[in-house]
Amino acid sequence: MSQHQDPWKAEYGSIQDFLTAIRLPVRNLKNQENYDRYFTERDSDFYGAGCNTANDVLRLMNDGWPEGRDRLNELRSQITNIELIPRDRRRKPTRSNIGDTLDINAVYSGRFDIAWRVAKRQTTQGPQRIDICANMIAVWYDHSDVLFWRGAAAITLADLLEQAGYMVRLVVNFGGEPSIIDNENYKAISCRITIKDHGMPLDITSTSSVILPGFFRALGLAWANNHSPHYLTSGVMRVGTGKVEPDEILASHTIRDHGAALAFVNDTIAKLNAQAAA
């Protein structure tokens, strides 16, 4: 049975675990009004993607966000340094217009030339695991696109690394201090959610959750109010950084627009290739 986690050290092994936690009873009843408003009050400018409430965010996570996928694919097509050094000696899935399994995300985005996957033998240096952490929090006055581009950078990098034979784990985190609370001893919030673990595929739900600004701005803030043992009088938090593990590639606050997202992916790939060549 799911239980509340302490919001200053929360970790969830999957998106579903996080969504289950959001539906738990509010821990401090004084936060009920703050929690409810994320599911009832309309705030489309804040949530982005045409979402008015947290329920709209949940729907797009399940159904996919076509506009977001199109923008994500556009970013993917502009990556120039994609000749990653492959790292897997085993049979590795490659993409073509015919094969063994169908990638429904590629079909939805019109990329029929790479919609099928077929396993082929690769002679390379051996498998390697890479961990990516996307810090998905922004100040309230930032446009929702700031969070979209940060998530798009993390998803694009994960996709490219997986295609090159790396085993990628993608985590999103958010953290910071509640702006107004009723307890001076309250600890800063830190929440980590594993979007995909090593060896797991990226699907519509995992991809959409990372690029949807409302994943934090609706669901994340609702979760903070739901799990806090203290009264969060404003229901929001100041921007901070949640827990980042050693050796994780961090998609940080510096990624705020298309250009920064593009640079992050290209620079990271260049660094990994340099390390592999050395």
- Chain segment 92-122, per-residue pLDDT in tens: 556 555 555 546 666 566 665 665 566 555 5
pLDDT class for 89, splitting at 50, 70, 90?
very low
pLDDT class for 85, splitting at 50, 70, 90?
low
What local confidence, expressed as pLDDT, does residue 120 receive? Answer: 58
The CA R_g of the chain, rounded to the nearest whole Å, is: 19
Predicted TM-score (pTM) of this structure = 0.82
How far is 234 from 17, CA to CA, in rounded Å? 26
- Chain segment 187-233, per-residue pLDDT in tens: 889 999 999 999 898 898 999 999 999 999 999 999 999 999 989 88
How far is 28 from 227, CA to CA, in rounded Å? 8
What local confidence, expressed as pLDDT, does residue 241 receive? Answer: 80
The average pLDDT across 239-258 equals 93
Q: Is the pLDDT of residue 144 over 90?
A: yes
As a whole-number percent, the residues of the chain with pLDDT over 70 amount to 81
How far is 69 from 106, CA to CA, in rounded Å? 10
pLDDT class for 1, splitting at 50, 70, 90?
very low
How far is 243 from 6, CA to CA, in rounded Å? 14
Residue partners of 258: CB distance under 8 A and separation at least 6: 75, 149
- Chain segment 156-177, per-residue pLDDT in tens: 999 999 888 889 999 999 998 8
The residues spanned by each domain of the chain are 10-81+127-277, 90-123
Q: Which of 236, 237, 223, 218 is nearest to 58 (CA)?
A: 218
Residue partners of 181: CB distance under 8 A and separation at least 6: 230, 231, 232, 233
Tokens 């627009």 — which residue? 257
